[in-house]
Structure 1
Amino acid sequence: MRIEIRIGLLLCISGGINSALATDGMYLEGYGPIATGVGGAAMAFDNGTSAMMNNPATLSLSQDPSRFDMLALYLGPDLSTNGQDSGFKNIGMAFGYVRRHQNVSFGFGIFPQGGMGTSYSNSSFLAPMHSLGGMPVAPPALQNESMLGVGRVIFPLSVQVNNNLTIGGSIDYVWATMNLSMVMDGRNFADYATSLGGSGRFGTVSGSLMNMLANPQLGDVNYGYFDFNNGNNYFGAAKASGWAAKFGFTYKIAQDLTIGASYQSRTHLGDLSSNGRVLFSTTGMGIASVGGAIRVQNFQMPNEYGAGLDWKISDNMNFMMDYRRIDWGGVIQNFQMLFSSPQGNLDVTMKQGWHDQNVLMLGVADRVNDHWTLRMGLNLANNPIPATYTNPLFPAIETTHASFGASYAFTHKDSLHISLVHAFNVRVTNGYGQDIDLSEWNAQLMYSHLF
Structure 2
Amino acid sequence: MKKRHSTGRSPRRQRLPMAGLALALATAAGAAQATDVFRLEGFGAVSRAMGGVATAHDVGPAGMMTNPATLSLMEADNAAMVGLDLVTTDIDVRNRDTGENAPSRNHGANRGPYFAPELAYVQRVGAWSFGLGAFAQGGLGTEYGRNSFLSRGTGGLDTGLENASRLLVLNIPVAASFRASEALTIGGSIDAMWQGLNLDMLLGADQVGSLISAGRVSGSLLPVLGGLPDLRGAHFSLTRNAPLASGVNAWGYTGRVGMTYALSADTRLGAAYTLRSRMGDMDGRATLTAVDGVAGQIALPGKLQVRDFQMPSVLNLGVSHRVTDRLTLAADVSRVFWAGVMKDIKVAFVADGGGDLNIRLPQDYRDQTVVAVGGAWRMDERWTLRGGLRVAQQALPSSTLLPVIPATPRKHLSAGFGYAVSPRASVDFAWSHAFREIMDNTSLPNTSAPIRVSHAQDNATLVYTWRF
Establish whether TM, by shorter chain, passes 0.5: yes
Per the alignment, residue 122 of structure 1 pairs with: 146
Per the alignment, residue 242 of structure 1 pairs with: 252
Per the alignment, residue 197 of structure 1 pairs with: none
What one-letter code is carried by the residue in structure 1 that aligns with 2:48? T
Report how far residue 402 of structure 1 moved. Answer: 0.5
Per the alignment, residue 208 of structure 2 pairs with: 189
- Alignment partner of 2:103 out of 85, 91, 106: 85
- Equivalent positions of 1:170-319 (< 5 A) are 170-194=189-213, 200=214, 204-215=216-227, 218-319=228-329
Per the alignment, residue 414 of structure 1 pairs with: 425
Q: Is the 8 A contact 1:124 1:140 kept in 2?
A: no
Residue 393 of structure 2 is aligned to residue 382 of structure 1: yes
Q: Is the 8 A contact 2:41 2:52 kept in 1?
A: yes
2: distance between equivalents of 1:439 and 1:330?
Answer: 27
Consecutive aligned runs of 4 or more in structure 1 exceeding 6 Å deviation? none
1: distance between equivalents of 2:48 and 2:265?
Answer: 25
Per the alignment, residue 39 of structure 1 pairs with: 51
Unaligned runs of 5+ in 1: 1-21, 195-199
Per the alignment, residue 146 of structure 1 pairs with: 165
Report how far residue 58 of structure 1 moved. Answer: 0.3
2: distance between equivalents of 1:155 and 1:305?
Answer: 19
1: distance between equivalents of 2:62 and 2:243?
Answer: 23
Residues 44-66 of structure 1: CA deviation (Å, up to 9, x unaligned): 12111101111100000013121
User: 1:130–1:175: structure 2 CA closer, same or farther, 3 Å change rule?
Assistant: closer
Q: Is the 8 A contact 1:81 1:125 kept in 2?
A: no
- Alignment partner of 2:183 out of 153, 160, 164: 164
1: distance between equivalents of 2:226 and 2:357?
Answer: 14
Residues 52-101 of structure 1: CA deviation (Å, up to 9, x unaligned): 11110000001312100001111011101112211232111120000011
Unaligned runs of 5+ in 2: 1-33, 95-100, 106-111
2: distance between equivalents of 1:155 and 1:385?
Answer: 32
- Alignment partner of 1:137 out of 156, 175, 178: 156
> Matched residue of 2:263: which SS?
strand
Per the alignment, residue 362 of structure 1 pairs with: 373
Residue 110 of structure 2 is aligned to residue 110 of structure 1: no
> Matched residue of 1:254: which SS?
coil
Q: Is the 8 A contact 2:116 2:135 kept in 1?
A: no
Report how far residue 246 of structure 1 moved. Answer: 0.6
1: distance between equivalents of 2:291 and 2:84?
Answer: 43
Residue 440 of structure 2 is aligned to residue 426 of structure 1: no
Report how far residue 285 of structure 1 moved. Answer: 2.0
User: 1:313–1:435: structure 2 CA closer, same or farther, 3 Å change rule?
Assistant: same
> Matched residue of 2:50: which SS?
coil
2: distance between equivalents of 1:91 and 1:130?
Answer: 33
Q: Is the 8 A contact 1:365 1:374 kept in 2?
A: yes
Report how far residue 125 of structure 1 moved. Answer: 3.7
Q: Is the 8 A contact 1:339 1:346 kept in 2?
A: yes
Q: Is the 8 A contact 2:35 2:391 kept in 1?
A: no
What one-letter code is carried by the residue in structure 2 that aligns with 1:172? D
- Equivalent positions of 1:60-75 (< 5 A) are 60-75=72-87
Q: Is the 8 A contact 2:153 2:203 kept in 1?
A: no
1: distance between equivalents of 2:460 and 2:159?
Answer: 35
Per the alignment, residue 96 of structure 1 pairs with: 120
Per the alignment, residue 445 of structure 1 pairs with: 462
Per the alignment, residue 13 of structure 1 pairs with: none
Report how far residue 23 of structure 1 moved. Answer: 5.4
Number of equivalenced pairs:
416
What one-letter code is carried by the residue in structure 1 that aligns with 2:51? G
Per the alignment, residue 97 of structure 2 pairs with: none
> Matched residue of 2:216: which SS?
strand
Residue 332 of structure 2 is aligned to residue 322 of structure 1: yes
> Matched residue of 1:255: which SS?
coil
Q: Which is further off, 280-289 or 74-83?
A: 280-289
2: distance between equivalents of 1:31 and 1:125?
Answer: 37
Q: Is the 8 A contact 1:64 1:450 kept in 2?
A: yes
Report how far residue 283 of structure 1 moved. Answer: 2.7
Report how far residue 116 of structure 1 moved. Answer: 1.1
What one-letter code is carried by the residue in structure 1 that aligns with 2:183? N
2: distance between equivalents of 1:214 and 1:118?
Answer: 30
What one-letter code is carried by the residue in structure 2 that aligns with 1:329? A
- Alignment partner of 2:452 out of 435, 442, 449: 435
The alignment's C-alpha RMSD in Å is 1.5
User: 1:312–1:345: structure 2 CA closer, same or farther, 3 Å change rule?
Assistant: same
> Matched residue of 2:246: which SS?
coil
1: distance between equivalents of 2:115 and 2:429?
Answer: 15
Q: Is the 8 A contact 1:123 1:144 kept in 2?
A: no
1: distance between equivalents of 2:127 and 2:153?
Answer: 66
Q: Is the 8 A contact 1:96 1:108 kept in 2?
A: yes
1: distance between equivalents of 2:422 and 2:295?
Answer: 71
Residues 267-308 of structure 1: CA deviation (Å, up to 9, x unaligned): 111100011110012133222111111011111111100010
Q: Which is further off, 434-443 or 340-349?
A: 340-349
Residues 315-374 of structure 1: CA deviation (Å, up to 9, x unaligned): 100110000000001100000000012331111110000001100000111001000000
